[in-house]
């Protein structure tokens, strides 16, 4: 996935011997998206590190409690800035679609079909 040297150069990354550590699934998704964009050649890892470092230096968001949450909120902010600066919106559209799938899945009762962007309304036809 990502080269150990890049992993080692990522400031503050919560990790153990096996690699990055995530408190919640969205953090892993943000990490994976960044790695995918890097591997697709959109930016050098050193460039990413400079964006991330700048966000970390800006201080912790007030509403964050866990260290991992604070870290990945910075991560997301840095990713948004990098994407905007590089004009990578189209590369991220795919990931947004993935997020919509996740939301649709979360909003769907167990055993029901998943409908993207569905507002939950049931059309009951009462004509006899």
Residue 128 lies in a domain: no
Reported as a single tens digit per residue, the pLDDT across 53-112 is: 999 998 765 555 678 888 898 999 999 899 889 988 777 776 666 666 666 666 666 666
d(CA 53, CA 120): 42
Retrieve residue 46's tokens. 């050193």
Model's pTM, two decimal places? 0.67
Q: Domain count of the chain?
A: 1
Tell me the pLDDT tens digit for each residue of 99-120. 666 666 666 666 666 565 544 4
Give the domain extent around 88.
4-106
Angle at 83 between CA 82 and CA 84, to 5 degrees: 90
Classify residue 17: in a domain, yes or no. yes
Say if 93 falls within a structural domain: yes
What residues pair up with 19 in beta bridges, in sequence order? Answer: 16
* 51, part of any domain: yes
């Amino acid at each position: 996935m990502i080269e150990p040297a890049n992993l080692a150069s990522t400031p503050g990354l919560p990790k153990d011997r096996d690699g990055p550590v995530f408190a919640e699934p969205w953090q892993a998704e943000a990490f994976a998206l960044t790695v995918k964009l890097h591997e697709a050649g959109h930016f050098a890892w050193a460039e990413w590190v400079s964006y991330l470092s700048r966000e970390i230096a800006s201080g912790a968001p007030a509403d964050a409690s866990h260290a991992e949450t604070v870290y990945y909120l910075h991560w997301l902010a840095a990713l948004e800035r990098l994407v905007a600066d590089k004009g990578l919106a189209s590369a991220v559209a795919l990931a947004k679609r993935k997020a919509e799938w996740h939301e649709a899945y979360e909003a769907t009762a167990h055993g029901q079909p998943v409908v993207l962007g569905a507002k939950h309304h049931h059309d009951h036809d009462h004509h006899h």
